[in-house]
Amino acid sequence: MEGRNTQIVYFGPQHPGVPGNIAFKLWLDGDRVVKAEVIPGFLHRGFEKMMENRTWEMNVTLSYRFCVEDPDHLEIAYAMAVEDIVNANIPENAKWIRMIQAEMGRIASHLFWSHFIGGSIGLRTPAYWAVTAREEILKWFGRIAGHRVYHNLSVPGGIRYKLPADFKEHTLKVLDFVEEKARDVEEALLKNSVFKARTRNLGKLTSEEALMLGVTGPVLRATGYKYDLRVNAPYLNYDKVKFEVPTGSIGDAYDRSVVRFKEIYQSISIIRQALEEVKLDEPLRIKIGLTIPPGEGVARVESARGEYVIHIISQGGRKPYRVRLRSMSMPLLTTVVDYILSKEEITIADFPVLLASLDPCPPDLDR
Amino acid sequence: MATQTLIKSLKYLFTTPYTRLVPRKVKPFKTEKIRGAHILDMNKCTGCSMCQQVCPAACIDMVQVEGNYPQNPRKRFPRIDHSKCTFCALCVEYCPVGALSMTTRTGYELFTIDKNTTLKSPLELCRIEGEVTVTKEDFVVGITPVKLGEVPLKRGE
Ligand code: SF4
Ligand code: SF4
């Protein structure tokens, strides 16, 4: 790759254009990026190994700590995997509340993403409005779960905290606020001609390519391929609510943005439906002992970035024998970026936009 | 299109800032269920070490305190390192007698420039200022399921 005209530039981890604590080594030909090598490891803690050394109830607090933007799906997946080992049937009420939690997390994550992409393009103003809406969701979590970002709400067996008496009214109020703000951001961001010029035809992927690269989530749906675990392999009570799976057509950065915004409205509608089913005076949790019998548990959830899989093996006792996590950021940051660079002419100015449009979560890759 | 955006922007031009001036004007963000610094009831604690066992950050040590505590014959109480604590409230949930609770004391109120002050002895834990927010009663107690399914080895036995 090193030729007379190739320049090597280190990009990140302190650069505002990278989506978090990750670095890239870029080979530039003029201002075209010809090759990118991801430099991971800034957040490596060995989560899988750490989870093997902690007990089942401690692992709840560990299961979500590697993705700030979307911790709820990780937490729910861990709880579901443990429940899978013991074949537990949790109360319906807990399932509905988990759905509300998951969709709130998805909305917060997508809103935060619009801040990233706005920042990478230079359109920060609408992005600040999005953060306002996210802040309202974080405050809601602060009331329901006690903390703003890491909630610790879903544990193996159900829901951990009692819900406040005005749970439904408060949630509806937050949803109205978020919906209004999201529509404003969508108007100001997606219809902006600068945004369109910067994202249209950038980082195109076809459905076949996306599937070949192992991509799921909004990036796959933007290519026009209708695949969503909530519909294709429903978990919790997703088969009992009505919602659409938004898809794009050509799979470029603009399509991904449109899909994410449409998903916000679908999530809001799912929460509204789930809220009607929540019964505040009914049980929320079943008792799962401190020791788990031998067995295997798998849970797959559709997180904000795509399919998240957790596989736990128990040999009985207080701790898991092996925990395996698989999330979407790995292909997004490695193979997808490589593939797009090899196929398309991406300049150094477009590189942050491309990264932001994929919406990876670097700690997720490092773990 | 552009006019729509302009109208929206104008709307925001006349709103007050959403951000808050912390810490000069207001206290850190708090809710009625926020999980902040612990408070210990030394007249309830039996010294059973359950809190130490469940702490995922391993920030609880059991230390001896002199005094008259009839329910705690060995006089051992939890000492919590607030610089390690993740405020997950597992210790509150699993304490069998509800001796630990959490308070509103959080955010920059816990910051310190002297590392030696983060280790809160049991006596200090009794005197934490702030309102009590999360107690053992706030946790849902699990109902025992009618039948917890058969548990054979599944998948690739
Ligand atoms: S709140 Fe969590 S981390 Fe802190 S002392 Fe209690 S169990 Fe340990
Ligand atoms: S605080 Fe509770 S769990 Fe900890 S030693 Fe005392 S009684 Fe046991």
SS (H, E, C) A128-157: HHHHHHHHHHHHHHHHHHCCCCCCCCEECC
Question: Does ligand 2 lie within 6 Å of residue B34's CB atom?
Answer: no
Q: Which residues contact A264 (CB under 8 A, 6 or more apart)?
A: A106, A107, A110, A111, A178, A182
Position A4 pLDDT exceeds 70: no
Bridge partners, residue B119, by sequence = B81
How far is the centre of ligand 1, averaged over its atoms, from the C-alpha of B135 (Å)? 13
Q: Tokens 């404003």 — which residue?
A: A184
Amino acid, single-letter form, for residue A257: S
Position A265 pLDDT exceeds 80: yes
Residue A339 maps to which CATH number? 1.10.645.10
Residue nearest to atom 2 of ligand 1 (CA): B88
Q: How far apart are alpha carbons B77 and A254 in whole angstroms?
A: 58
- For residues A169-183, average pLDDT: 90
Chain A residue numbers with beta carbons less than 8 Å from the beta carbon of B148 are 86-88, 288
- For residues A278-307, average pLDDT: 86
Q: Would an 8 Å CB–CB cutoff place B16 in contact with chain A?
A: no
**Contact by Cβ (8 Å): A225, A210:** yes
Per-residue pLDDT reduced to its tens digit, A240-261? 888 888 988 888 889 889 999 9
Contacts of the segment A64-68: beta carbons below 8 A, 24+ positions apart: A64/A150, A64/A151, A65/A150, A66/A361, A66/A363, A66/A364, A66/A366, A66/A367, A67/A327, A67/A361, A67/A363, A67/A364, A68/A149, A68/A361, A68/A363
Q: Is A72 a member of any domain?
A: yes
How much is the pLDDT for B141? 77
How much is the pLDDT for A78? 92
Cα A125 to chain center, whole Å?
23
Position A158 pLDDT exceeds 60: yes
Angle at B108 between CA B123 and CA B135, to 5 degrees: 50
**Contact by Cβ (8 Å): A159, A94:** yes
Bridge partners, residue A311, by sequence = A298, A324
Position A335 pLDDT exceeds 60: yes
Q: Is A185 a member of any domain?
A: yes
How much is the pLDDT for A214? 85
Question: Does ligand 2 lie within 6 Å of residue B97's CB atom?
Answer: yes
Question: Does ligand 2 lie within 6 Å of residue B49's CB atom?
Answer: yes
Q: How far apart are alpha carbons B52 and A317 in whole angstroms?
A: 19
Q: Is A186 a member of any domain?
A: yes
> pTM of this prediction?
0.89
Instruction: Please tell me what DSSP assigns to residue A18.
Output: S
How far is the CA of B57 from the CAs of A59, B53, B94, B127, in angstroms?
11, 10, 15, 23
Q: Which domain holds residue A167?
A: 44-366
Q: Tokens 């391929």 — which residue?
A: A225
Question: Which of A34, A17, A55 has the alpha carbon at shortest distance from A349?
Answer: A17
How much is the pLDDT for B148? 52
How far is the centre of ligand 1, averaged over its atoms, from the C-alpha of B91 (Å)? 6
How far is the centre of ligand 2, averaged over its atoms, from the C-alpha of B128 (Å)? 17
Angle at A315 between CA B86 and CA A75, to 5 degrees: 35
Q: Which of A17-21, A23-27, A155-159, B145-149 has the lowest mean pLDDT?
A: B145-149
Helices (H) and strands (E) in chain B, counts: 4, 6
Fold of B24-139: Alpha-Beta Plaits (3.30.70)
Angle separating helix axes A56-63 and A71-86, nearest 10 degrees: 150
How much is the pLDDT for B152? 46
Position A131 pLDDT exceeds 80: yes
Chain B residue numbers with beta carbons less than 8 Å from the beta carbon of A87 are 148-151
Based on the structure, what is the number of domains in chain A?
Answer: 1
Task: Identify the segments of chain B with pLDDT beneath 50.
Answer: 151-157
Q: Would an 8 Å CB–CB cutoff place A277 in contact with chain B?
A: no
* Alpha-carbon distance B4 to nearest alpha carbon in chain A (angstroms): 8
Q: Count Cβ atoms below 10 Å from residue A85 Cβ, excluding itself.
A: 23
How much is the pLDDT for A1? 55
Q: Is A173 a member of any domain?
A: yes
Q: How far apart are alpha carbons B147 and B132 in whole angstroms?
A: 37
Question: Does ligand 2 lie within 6 Å of residue B89's CB atom?
Answer: no
How much is the pLDDT for B66? 84
- For residues A100-118, average pLDDT: 89
- For residues A254-281, average pLDDT: 90
- For residues A70-76, average pLDDT: 90
Position A201 pLDDT exceeds 50: yes
Ligand positioned closest to the Cα atom of B59: 1
Domain boundaries, chain B: 24-139
- For residues A33-56, average pLDDT: 86
The pLDDT mean for chain A works out to: 86
Backbone angles phi, psi at A212, to 5 degrees: -65, -35
Percentages (nearest 5) of helix, strand, coil residues in chain B: 25, 15, 60
**Contact by Cβ (8 Å): A114, A258:** no
Upstream peptide bond of A13 is cis (omega within 30 degrees of 0): yes
